[in-house]
Amino acid sequence: MRTILSVLFTSILAAGANPAFAQGNPIKIGAILPLTGSGASYGVWMKGGAEMAAEEINAGGGIAGRKLEVIYEDHAADASKAVNAMRRLVEVEKVPFSLTSYSAPTLAVQPIAVQNKVVLMNGGGQSDNLANKEYLYNNIPVVSNEVGVIAEWLAKEKKLTTAVMIVANDEAGRNAAKTFQEKYGAAGGKVLADEQVALDGTDFRAQLAKLKARGGSLLYISSYGRNVAIIADQARELGITIPMAGTSWILVPEVMKSKGAEGILTTRLPFDGDSAFAKKFKDKYKTDAGFFAVQYYNATQIFAKAAAEAMKKSGGALSGEGVKNAIESVRTFDTISGKLVFQANHGAVMDIEVGTLKGGKVEVEKIIKASP
Amino acid sequence: MDLFLQLAATGLVVGSLYALCALGWGLIYGTTLHFHVAHGAIFTLAAYFAYAGQKLLGLPLAVAVIGAIAAAAACGLLIDLFIYQPLERRGAIRTTLFIASLGLLNVVENLVAIVFKPDPLRMDVGWLSNAVQIGPVFLTWLHLVSVATALAGYLGLMAFLKYSLWGRAIRAVSSSPEMARTVGIDLRRVHLLTYAVGSAISAPAGILVAMDVGADPYRGTTFVLLASVAVIMGGIGSIPGALLGALFLAMLENLGVWKIASEWQSTISFGVFLVFIVVRPRGFFGRKIHSAEI
């Protein structure tokens, strides 16, 4: 027993004595991510991105001399799990900041963030309802920007003017579907029918058969994650031959590898698969990096900059409120995907690309430049 | 009309899978009167055995499937041998067995989720996933295999119960355990056999679903629930009833989608089940169930 204790003490002392982190405790932040469930592929990217950022920050001496520690929590696309995770982060870990993901989980934890003055940064959820929320910043554009681009492109340039929709029955899926219906209608298209499906479902044949019977020149998939690969495969199985379309949400490995999704029309947010970041990610995690890896890398770096700024102002103390004020006053952050400017609605704008999924890659046809 | 045919065909495929599950569950319930919800665990285990056989051991698909069925049958037998029989020897009432069964289902599902992660695992099925067009109806080869398996399972089980000595023993115990004991039938051995046969018949359902949409640790619960509904609808103790109940349930779910929004699918089936149990508790062909039997 005594040896164990002494070993423990020595190691604690040794950790404390690390010269790089001379001052005080590590800075703990949360990350509430889809580590399991239909969106687990996003989780790999998000966690990997945040992890790489934290390692780089710590290798460079931490934030104002303090080590950064990220505490990962799983929401499995479930808002109530996200709330539990958030409570733990706030009450036990006392974090001033948390990364969040997905629309419903982020919206569910935002009131807790306001109550406890914890800054949230969402790099993945895109529901329009995420805009203009106190203590919540999105380093990603809301979905209406992307949906607007694809709706117009499909109706005006691809001349696909009648659509049937399959919609994931959650905040993100429904919100995107509603926006699609509006923007597609404004561009001269018409949605003939829609069917809602469970995000964690695995059999969508009955719904697809019903949509097939309605005809239309396009199947719009307002869903995300692994779900989309199953929808695409089962649609082709049922002899649905019309083009399918979606937004950057669908670009996960399962979909890109699926037979059924070949030829799907989609938007994409700018991501360079040959960048130094992407190469480093692949070396470290043995899997290709994706857009969301960069997003969470950037979000973590943005926090580090804002926290350093806040600590400079307050003379060393770090609070959620300080981080929030720092984000508001700095506004423009340099990231590995270029300059990011937080808009008045707490969101970001980005270029949006449109193209076709071919052989596991998006062949970009057109880039719509960001207009803040 | 095309939509009707497509939904009916999908209903037949889904019904075949429900039927395999219901035949096994119904055989066990009809013979032992155990409300064996852990049958869902057998369904799940069969899927993961097949997955592990193909993906981890690198066995050919057919070998992995046959191995998984045998392993699932052994698990069913072991559940009776090591859980239900000791409980019964100690005079446990049926509710105790039911709670034990429920606990077992939960433990197995979560263990599977810990070992294999909760995300569905897809198997390689090769050409079986190719689409087949029959008139206006689109299915995959795997779907046709599912229907054929259910038919073979049903006919095989009927023949086994009718013509084999052991099958007749099961029927004897099912119709009157006391009488069967009087004529010298060993109830415990018949129960073990029933669990093995019932599990072997339902195992292909778990495997076929895993081959179609991936193995999922928690799907067994849904299937065993639907299987029990199908058996009660069809009539306890009736094998044709279990088949008919399962097909009826699946058709209802799928054809219901024709006119009603699809998110109401399970509401339809459980709604009709409620009507059934109130209006015609003996089901299509069976004897009347009493609350004491559950």
Q: Of A40-49, A166-175, B197-206, B274-283, which range is least confident?
A: B274-283
Which chain A residues are closer than 8 Å to B126 by Cβ? none
pLDDT tens, position by position, A21-33: 545 789 999 999 9
pLDDT reading at A357 higher than 50: yes
pLDDT tens, position by position, A61-93: 999 999 999 999 999 889 999 999 999 999 999
- Of all residues in chain B, the one with the smallest CA distance to A40 is B119
Residue A206 has its nearest CB partner, among B10, B119, B131, at B10
Minimal CA separation from A75 to chain B, in Å: 13
Res B144: pLDDT: 96
Residue B197: CA atoms inside 13 Å, Cβ hemisphere, count?
26
Read off the pLDDT band of A39 (50, 70, 90): confident
Res A259: pLDDT: 87
pLDDT tens, position by position, B87-107: 999 999 999 999 999 999 999
Res A9: pLDDT: 46
- Of all residues in chain A, the one with the smallest CA distance to B11 is A206
pLDDT reading at A16 higher than 60: no
Query: Which whole number is the average pLDDT over B32-59?
Result: 96
Which domains can be identified in chain A, with CATH numbers? 2-141+273-341 (3.40.50.2300), 143-268+352-368 (3.40.50.2300)
Q: Which of B47, B111, B120, B122 is nearest to A38 (CA)?
A: B120
Query: Which whole number is the average pLDDT over A231-240?
Result: 92
Q: Which of A244, A236, A246 is nearest to A263 (CA)?
A: A244
Query: Which whole number is the average pLDDT over A330-343?
Result: 89
Res B289: pLDDT: 53
Beta-bridge partners for B132 = B139
So where are chain B's domains? 2-118+129-293
Please give the single-letter amino acid code of residue B12.
Answer: L
pLDDT reading at A317 higher than 60: yes
Beta-bridge partners for A136 = A120
Q: Of A23-27, A194-198, B1-5, B110-114, which range is least confident?
A: A23-27
Which chain A residues are closer than 8 Å to B131 by Cβ? 236-239
Query: Which whole number is the average pLDDT over A159-181?
Result: 93
Q: Indicate left, alpha or beta for A150 from its phi (over 0: left) and psi (-120 to 50: alpha).
A: alpha
Cα separation of A143 and A223, whole Å? 12
Res B288: pLDDT: 56
Read off the pLDDT band of B199 (50, 70, 90): very high
Query: Which whole number is the average pLDDT over B151-158?
Result: 97
Contact at CB, A209 and B140, closer than 8 angstroms = no
Minimal CA separation from B5 to chain A, in Å: 10
Res A15: pLDDT: 46
Which chain B residues are closer than 8 Å to A193 by Cβ? none
Query: Which whole number is the average pLDDT over B278-284?
Result: 82
Which chain B residues are closer than 8 Å to A236 by Cβ? 131
Contact at CB, A196 and B261, closer than 8 angstroms = yes
- Of all residues in chain B, the one with the smallest CA distance to A198 is B263
Contact at CB, A210 and B262, closer than 8 angstroms = yes
Which chain B residues are closer than 8 Å to A196 by Cβ? 261-263
Chain A residues at the B interface, defined by Cβ less than 8 Å, are: 36-38, 40, 76, 169, 195-198, 202-203, 205-207, 209-210, 212-213, 226, 230, 233, 236-239
| Residue labelled with tokens 């607007």 | A148
Average pLDDT value for chain B: 91
Using alpha carbons, list the distances in angstroms from residue B64 to B53, B73, B76, B201.
Answer: 5, 14, 18, 16
Contact at CB, B7 and A37, closer than 8 angstroms = no
Res A226: pLDDT: 84
Query: Which whole number is the average pLDDT over B203-223?
Result: 93
Query: Which whole number is the average pLDDT over B228-257?
Result: 90
Minimal CA separation from A115 to chain B, in Å: 33
Which chain B residues are closer than 8 Å to A213 by Cβ? 2-3, 6
Q: For domain B2-118+129-293, give the fold.
A: ABC transporter involved in vitamin B12 uptake, BtuC (1.10.3470)
Query: Which whole number is the average pLDDT over A335-363?
Result: 89
Residue B214 has its nearest CB partner, among A198, A202, A239, at A202
Q: Who has greater pLDDT, A14 or B239?
A: B239
Read off the pLDDT band of B45 (50, 70, 90): very high
Contact at CB, B213 and A226, closer than 8 angstroms = no
Please give the single-letter amino acid code of residue B147.
Answer: V
Average pLDDT value for chain A: 89
Of all residues in chain A, what percent carry a pLDDT higher than 90? 65
Read off the pLDDT band of B52 (50, 70, 90): very high
Q: Of A163-167, A337-341, B64-68, B279-283, which range is least confident?
A: B279-283
Packing angle of the helix pair B39-51, B2-32 (nearest 10 deg):
120
Cα separation of A40 and A33, whole Å? 9
Using alpha carbons, list the distances in angstroms from residue B126 to A65, A327, B119.
Answer: 56, 53, 21
Residues 6 or more apart from B273 whose CB is under 8 A from it?
B229, B232, B233, B249
Residue A202 has its nearest CB partner, among B213, B254, B258, at B213
Q: What tokens does A353 get?
A: 């690309």
DSSP, collapsed to helix, strand or coil, labels residue A163 as strand
- Of all residues in chain B, the one with the smallest CA distance to A229 is B213
Res B250: pLDDT: 92
pLDDT tens, position by position, A265-302: 999 988 888 899 999 999 999 988 989 999 999 999 99
